[in-house]
Structure 1
């Protein structure tokens, strides 16, 4: 855990009664979503769906960071990124 708070895993996000997405990791207090994108996310159709999904989540006030296998080449940098995002806290309401 590297000193980070424990995120919620595989969380379903709704807008009212409408299902929006199931996210990999969620820091609810910071409204921060962390998604892991494997190689299948490079497919044009999947990438397009990912962009629509991300835009919808951002429109609901969530912040978003994507992690790929390359991020694990330098886990110290990845952890620093997550710490910075958590330190920023939740975005102000629109």
Structure 2
């Protein structure tokens, strides 16, 4: 890829070049960022850096150092993680033996703006939110309160986590989520469907 007079590595090629250096989780974070749907109003781009199907082919065709790890990370990658902590949270949930969550859940309500959860379980009405540093800002807190109230009004349970949970590997978050899943299964009599990889 060329920028003015310089030749640069593409984002996808850079991740491939990091395959032998990065950990499995670091690669999953990077791949999730490559394949996620951008928010044009914030990023001034309308397409992912690479579509997941195209990325899978690139990873399968790579045979250099770290190729096996890269393919393993590709299997764990998903479209829908908007931030590295969201990816790390999803991986922690799965490693804790909990069902794989849905990503970027939009609540179907009337109005110009739809409340959205980072991840959760539609069948069990559980919304999980990772509150990064920007969530301490007053305006963002107001939007978060509006979102939480919208989910609650529809019978959903909200679970929040933050950088302290991230630093602890989301162990406490996963324990709270497991209790919440069991409570919601009993309350709603619902089971989770198996999600395709």
Gaps of 5+ in 1: none
Aligned to 2:180: 85
**TM-score scaled to structure 1, two decimals?**
0.84
Specify the structure having the higher radius of gyration (Cα): 2
Q: Tell me which of 145, 165, 175 is aligned to 1:51.
A: 145
Q: How many residues align?
A: 91
Q: Which has the higher contact order (CA 8 A, sep 6+)?
A: 1
Offset at 1:11?
A: 1.9
Higher strand share: 1
Gaps of 5+ in 2: 1-93, 189-197
Higher helix share: 2
Offset at 1:21?
A: 1.4
Q: Tell me which of 86, 99, 113 is aligned to 1:5.
A: 99
Supply the distance in 2 between the matched residues of 1:21 and 1:56 (Cα, whole angstroms). 7
Alignment of 1:21-40 (within 5 A): 21-40=115-134
Aligned CA-pair RMSD: 1.7
Q: Partner of 2:100: helix, strand, or coil? A: coil
Large movers: runs of 4+ above 2 Å: 17-20, 72-76
Supply the distance in 1 between the matched residues of 2:160 and 2:182 (Cα, whole angstroms). 17
